[in-house]
Each structure stands twice: as structure tokens, then as C-alpha cells.
Chain A
Amino acid sequence: MLLYISKRLFQGVFVVVGISILIFIISRVVPGDPARMALGPRAPQYAVDELRREMHLDKPLPVQYCYWFSGVIRGDFGKSINTKRPVMADVKEFLPATIELALFSGFLFIFFSIILGLLAARYRDTWVDGIIRALSYTGIAVPAFVVAVILMLLFGYVWPIIPVLGRLSSDITAPPVITGLITVDSLATGNFTAFFDALKHLLLPSLALAVGPLFQEARILRSSLTDNMGKEYISVATGYGISGSVIMRKYLLKPSFIPVVSVMGLDFASLMGNAFLVERIFNWPGISRYGINAMLNKDLNAISAVIVIFGAIFIVVNIIVDLIVASLDPRIRLGGK
């Protein structure tokens, strides 16, 4: 197991370096002079040249990469042309909001997909299963931003009981920043008003994001459970008089979760990137929205930072998922067929 973990970590490092090279190359081959864009068309040429030197744009590409990568490792992505601040400061401000959103959304879809999947399998081919199936097809087919708009209309206009904009109501003082996750920070400082307010604000955007993965995984869990119910080892265990609850809890559940966990991990890792429209709609000050704005403004440093961070998060999540799968499945953990 230890060998497996170190192998995966090692691979992860390689992938991050690969991504960074790719991003760097892309950011340098796109047309347009970043220095000129930063200063605007009317700036004098000497100022542009000055800035080019400052950004090391006058050096050969490999040297530029070394400058850039050593900065990245120290968390220095340079200045954002757009916000005129160090990119890292922007990231520190916007990333926690997206992480909080993704974590809560992940919690929602993991929890409810397991419940729905178990119910659908337990009552397969009955009306319960039918309803869950119908809901699932709808939930999978409708994109997150449509769900977001519908929720927005519903709770912003028709039935305004849950806040629909931002992370916190304006009349509530935000807790001091510790982790940047308002729910965590407010709990840590014992500020329950802020905690519940933040939770309410989280609900709709994370629900909008959770709907797709939720129903997809409920379907996967249901089909993997029903598949495994027909397996010979279940009929054999039944034949030895193993009690129904042990068969369900032990013999069936563990093998059935293996495919679901992999998909959950992928979905969770993609949440952050996919959060853009949902963040826009709910005015959620997240990094996904920030990243898209950076792209529209050709803010290269900011774009690189967002992609490197998303890439790193994706890899870390995948490693964690692989470890969970390996702990469930001895065939992966110990190698072999």
C-alpha cells in the first residue's frame, strides 16, 4: 500500500510539471504583447519596453519558463494585468469561496446519491425506482446553469425564503479570515449567526452544481448494486445461510462502491472548473468566475495561476480517490488480475 501511494504521488508531480510547461507554452504563443495590453495602446514605447524587461519577456523562452516556474513554486504568479494586484492575492481571496462551494456541493451529491442509489436498488422495478429513474434522467440532462436559473427564479422571485446572492448577508459581519471558508471560520470563532447565514447562502449554488453528479451517481450505484445482486457469490453466500443484512452491508456494498467512488472523484474534481456559470448567476466571488474573466481579458498571469491551481487540485483529488478505490479493491491494491 505504501509503495502504491508513493508511486501515485510521484506520478502526480510529473503531471503538474507537464501541465505547467503546457500552460507556459500556450500563454507565450498566443498573439498579442502582454506588456502592451497591460499598458494600453496609448502608452509610450519606452514604458512598454520597460515592462517587457520587468516581466522577462525579452529573454529566450526556456529562460522565461525558469523564471516563471520558480515564481510559481513560491506562489508568485506575477501581477494581474486586470486587477493590478499580485495574482496570488486574488487567488487567496477567490479560491476559498469556490472550495467552500465545491466541498458543500460534493457533500450534497455524495450523500444524496448514495441514499437514492440504495433506495432505487432496494426497491428496484417498483414505483420508487421508477420515480428515481425519471428524476435522474431529468437531472442528468439539465445543465447546472439551467438548474441555477430555475432555483434563482424560484427562490429569488416566487418564494424568497433563501438568499440567492453572495456568500453572506450584508447586515452580518464576516468572521475573521482563518481558512477563508466562511462556514468554517464562523464556527471556529463561535459566530453561529454568521454560520447559519453562510450555510443558507451556500445552499442554492451548491445544489445547482450538485444536481448533475447526484443523479448520475445514483444511477451508477443502483446499477452496480443490482449487477452484483445477480453475482454467483451472493447466491453462494445466501446458500450458506449468511443473514440478509450481512449480505447487504458486507458482501454487496463494498464491491458495488468501487465504480461509484471513481466517478464521484472525477465529478468532484470537475466541480470547480464547471462552477463558472453558477458563480456568475449567484454572484459568488469564486475563482472559477475570476478565471473566466481573466481569459476574456487575456490576463495571462491570472490564467496560468487558475489553470495550475485547478490542475493541482484535480490531481490531488484523483490521488485521494485512487487511494480510496485501492483500499476497497484488493485487486488494485495488491496488483494482479
Chain B
Amino acid sequence: MERLLDIRNLKVWYSTYRGFAKVVDGINMHVGKGEKVGLVGESGCGKTTTMKSILRVLDSRKVHIPEGEIIFKGSDILRMNYNEIQQVRRRSISMISQEPSAALNPVFTVGDQIMEVIRHSGQFDKNFSKKDMKSLAIKAIRDVLISDPERIFDSYPHQLSGGMKQRICIVMALVTPRELLIADEPGTALDVTIQDQIHRLLRSLVEEKHMSLIMITHSLGVARELVDRIYVMYAGNIVEAAKTKDLFKNPLHPYTRGLMDCVPRLSGGGVSEGIYGYIPDYINPTPGCRFYPRCPDAKEVCSRQKPPATVATENHLVACFKYN
């Protein structure tokens, strides 16, 4: 499959007063045209950081990217100039924020903010009037199963429920055509029924528009329902990558197995019963495998050396010395 996005050895560090927090630690990941992939890992492992670096929306004064490439359709996003990255943001990739309540500006109407996205997309010629834009926005609001789009269009964010805000975030991401959608834990703040609705809605919209999808989630169970391929992330490393079917049939990495024990839902923000210990310190990470302190199968070598990604079976990668 042709690769739309290819992340190579990406490292993302935050500068803190205690030194650099080396959060994303050389990850590799790719998304094919029309492919749906999942990025699964517990809270704080760096999922959002990775995705925000694709759109370059991390605070450049706090973030340092010492290494890596993010190749999108042949060119490296990290080396694009302002106009080029704006084109990618406007026409190619859009992201749904993890926090729908914080993602909307409180002092402008929802409609105003959607219109701004449409206006900036630059995908419409001069004959496209304000009225056309508005009807495009209304249609997009209706597409996310909101029954009275005109009223919602004129509402302010504080007048909407959490579920509504989540849907509006989806509208903003999908109102103009894009090739890749990044959905950062959509619906986690909502109750399970609504979350489920949101997931199904997202999948149908993405399939209908023939887009690629990166779905971020805490839960392998959610990923299993939605995506073709799964990346399992632990403390800034991709520890395992495989087709959804293969991963569930034959999970290799000890961390993945721990996660499997908590399917269907790993509670957000915490460490499950399945895995002992906590996410390691990012400022002074161990030279070895970052999962080593919590690993039930740890060997001596794991504390000294980083396990390289190895091909276990076809299309099934794992970074663990057990399989090396």
C-alpha cells in the first residue's frame, strides 16, 4: 500500500526546568492511503505529543525535535516552511482534539469557528459566497447527526453538552476535504454509549470520504472495533505493531499482553491491574528498555540496551529481547 504518512525515528523532547523530558523516543510509524491505524497506549505515553508534532502545533519554544522525519506525500513536514505547513493543515491533515471543551474558543459561536476553517481551507473559488459556506457548514453539522444544525450554528460552546462539543470538533475536522484524520481519543470524556456512537460515526464518515485515519485510544478493545492496524506505544516507544487480527491472535510484547488483560476498556489515566508499576521518568530515562522496570519477563540485557524492532512474522514488529 502506498504510504501517505511515514514517521521515521521521531524524537520529541519538552524542555523543563529540570532538563529535557525525552518523551517521544524514536518512533516509526506509517499510514497508508485509506488505511485506518490505531495508536494505543496508556495515559502519558506520548500519543498526543506525537500527533501534535505532525501538525507542528506544539509550542516551539518548549519543544525540541532533535531527530526524525515526518514524511507526508514525499516531503518532510519538519522541514517545511510556513506556507507549506499551512497548506498541509488546510488541505491534507486535520486533527480532532482530545479535549473538545477546551478546543472551542469560548467567545465565538460554533458557526463562526467552523466558517473560519472553511474560509481558510482555500479550497473554494471566489464565486463561493458566504451563504454557500454557511450551507456547507450546516450540512456538515447535520452529517454528525445533530438534528437542529441552524440553532447549533449560532450557539456558543458553553451552551452545548459535551457530546455536542465533540461532534462540533468532528465537524471542524471534516467540513472541508482532507486526506488524513487524526482523532485523539474521541469521546473519552463522554459516557460509554455516546462514546460508542461517536466511534461509529467517525468510522462511517472516514470510510465515506475515503480518508486515512489515525485513531488514538487507551483501549485495545476500541482499536479492535475501528482500525486495520495497531501500534502499541509505551513511554514514547512503539513496542509492537501489527494488523489488528494478528495482534489479537498473537500478542507478543509483554506490555501488549498486559493491555490485553484489560480489554475491553483500560481506564483512562491510570495503570491497570494487569500491569505493575508506573510510567518511567522521561527526564532521566533508563538506557535500556523503558518497560524493563515493569516487565514480568525482564532479562539482564533489558536494563542495559534498547531492544530494536524486530520482525516476528510478516508485518508484525515487536521491540523486545524475548524475540531477538
Indicate whether B52 reaches chain A with its CB closer than 8 angstroms.
yes
* C-alpha spacing A242/B176, complex, angstroms: 13
Residue of A at shortest CB range from B92? A241
Interface residues of A in 222-274 (CB under 8 A from B): 230-233, 235-243, 246, 250-251, 254-255, 258
Indicate whether B217 reaches chain A with its CB closer than 8 angstroms.
no
* C-alpha spacing A125/B62, complex, angstroms: 12
Q: A232-B102, A235-B57 known; A241 and B90 CB under 8 Å?
A: yes
Residue of B at shortest CB range from A125? B61
* C-alpha spacing A125/B59, complex, angstroms: 14
Q: Which of B58, B86, B105 contacts A251 (CB 8 A)?
A: B105
Q: Tell me which of A12-20, A204-212, A277-285, A326-334 binds B.
A: A326-334
| A232 lies within 8 A of B90 (CB) | no
Q: Which of B58, B103, B107 contacts A232 (CB 8 A)?
A: B103
| B116 lies within 8 A of A242 (CB) | yes
| B59 lies within 8 A of A230 (CB) | yes
* C-alpha spacing A324/B83, complex, angstroms: 37
| A243 lies within 8 A of B120 (CB) | yes
| A334 lies within 8 A of B156 (CB) | yes
Indicate whether B117 reaches chain A with its CB closer than 8 angstroms.
yes
| B94 lies within 8 A of A246 (CB) | no
Q: A239-B55, A239-B89, A243-B86 known; A232 and B99 CB under 8 Å?
A: yes
- Taking CB atoms, residues of chain A closer than 8 Å to B88 are 241
| B120 lies within 8 A of A242 (CB) | yes
Of the four ranges (under 10, 10 to 19, 20 to 34, 35 or more), the interface on chain A belongs to: 20 to 34
Q: B107 CB to closest chain A CB, in angstroms?
A: 5
Q: Which of A236, A246, A329 contacts B103 (CB 8 A)?
A: A236
- Taking CB atoms, residues of chain B closer than 8 Å to A254 are 107-108
Q: A281 CB to closest chain B CB, in angstroms?
A: 42
| B103 lies within 8 A of A240 (CB) | no
* C-alpha spacing A236/B99, complex, angstroms: 10
Q: Which of A125, A233, A239 contacts B105 (CB 8 A)?
A: A233
| A240 lies within 8 A of B105 (CB) | no
Q: Which of A235, A241, A255, A330 contacts B120 (CB 8 A)?
A: A241
Q: A140 CB to closest chain B CB, in angstroms?
A: 27
Indicate whether B172 reaches chain A with its CB closer than 8 angstroms.
yes
Q: B211 CB to closest chain A CB, in angstroms?
A: 16
- Taking CB atoms, residues of chain B closer than 8 Å to A238 are 55, 57, 89
* C-alpha spacing A254/B105, complex, angstroms: 10
* C-alpha spacing A251/B104, complex, angstroms: 10
| A231 lies within 8 A of B102 (CB) | yes
Chain B 43-63 per-residue mask, 1 if CB under 8 angstroms from chain A, else 0 = 000000000100101110100
- Taking CB atoms, residues of chain A closer than 8 Å to B270 are none
Chain B 66-102 per-residue mask, 1 if CB under 8 angstroms from chain A, else 0 = 0000000000000000000011111100110101001
Residue of B at shortest CB range from A336? B158
Indicate whether A337 reaches chain B with its CB closer than 8 angstroms.
yes
| A236 lies within 8 A of B116 (CB) | no
- Taking CB atoms, residues of chain A closer than 8 Å to B89 are 238-241
- Taking CB atoms, residues of chain B closer than 8 Å to A233 are 102-106
- Taking CB atoms, residues of chain B closer than 8 Å to A246 are 116, 120
| B159 lies within 8 A of A255 (CB) | no
Interface residues of B in 140-156 (CB under 8 A from A): 156
* C-alpha spacing A232/B96, complex, angstroms: 11
- Taking CB atoms, residues of chain B closer than 8 Å to A230 are 59
| B117 lies within 8 A of A329 (CB) | no
* C-alpha spacing A238/B58, complex, angstroms: 10
* C-alpha spacing A255/B108, complex, angstroms: 9
Indicate whether B244 reaches chain A with its CB closer than 8 angstroms.
no
* C-alpha spacing A81/B167, complex, angstroms: 71
| A235 lies within 8 A of B105 (CB) | no
Indicate whether B256 reaches chain A with its CB closer than 8 angstroms.
no
Q: A230-B59, A331-B156, A336-B158 known; A239 and B94 CB under 8 Å?
A: yes
Indicate whether B121 reaches chain A with its CB closer than 8 angstroms.
yes
Chain B 158-193 per-residue mask, 1 if CB under 8 angstroms from chain A, else 0 = 110000000001001000000000000000000000
- Taking CB atoms, residues of chain A closer than 8 Å to B61 are 125
Q: A241-B89, A243-B86 known; A328 and B94 CB under 8 Å?
A: no
Q: A245 CB to closest chain B CB, in angstroms?
A: 11
| A240 lies within 8 A of B158 (CB) | no
Q: A128 CB to closest chain B CB, in angstroms?
A: 15
Q: Which of A237, A242, A330 contacts B107 (CB 8 A)?
A: A330
Task: Count chain B CB atoms within 10 A of each CB in A230, A231, A240 and give the residue with the most.
Answer: A240
Task: Count chain B CB atoms within 10 A of each CB in A250, A330, A337 and give the residue with the most.
Answer: A330
| B105 lies within 8 A of A255 (CB) | yes
Q: Which of B58, B59, B105, B121 contacts A237 (CB 8 A)?
A: B105
Q: B199 CB to closest chain A CB, in angstroms?
A: 20
Residue of A at shortest CB range from B116? A242
Interface residues of A in 292-337 (CB under 8 A from B): 328-331, 334, 336-337
Chain B 124-138 per-residue mask, 1 if CB under 8 angstroms from chain A, else 0 = 000000000000000
* C-alpha spacing A331/B91, complex, angstroms: 33
Residue of B at shortest CB range from A254? B107
Task: Count chain B CB atoms within 10 A of each CB in A237, A250, A254, A329 and give the residue with the most.
Answer: A237
- Taking CB atoms, residues of chain A closer than 8 Å to B95 are 236, 239
| A232 lies within 8 A of B59 (CB) | no
| A242 lies within 8 A of B158 (CB) | no
Q: Which of A125, A251, A330 contacts B158 (CB 8 A)?
A: A330
- Taking CB atoms, residues of chain A closer than 8 Å to B55 are 238-239
* C-alpha spacing A254/B109, complex, angstroms: 13
- Taking CB atoms, residues of chain A closer than 8 Å to B91 are 241
**Could you list 4 further interchain pairs (A-B, Cβ under 8 angstroms) beyond the known A241-B120, A251-B108?**
A236-B169, A236-B172, A240-B94, A240-B172
Q: Could you jot down 15 A-B contacts, CB within 8 Å?
A: A231-B102, A235-B57, A235-B58, A237-B113, A237-B116, A238-B55, A238-B89, A239-B55, A240-B90, A241-B89, A246-B116, A250-B108, A255-B106, A258-B107, A334-B158
Hey, which bits of chain A sit against chain B, CB under 8 A?
125, 230-233, 235-243, 246, 250-251, 254-255, 258, 328-331, 334, 336-337
Top 3 closest pairs, chain A to chain B, by CB: A241-B89, A241-B90, A232-B102
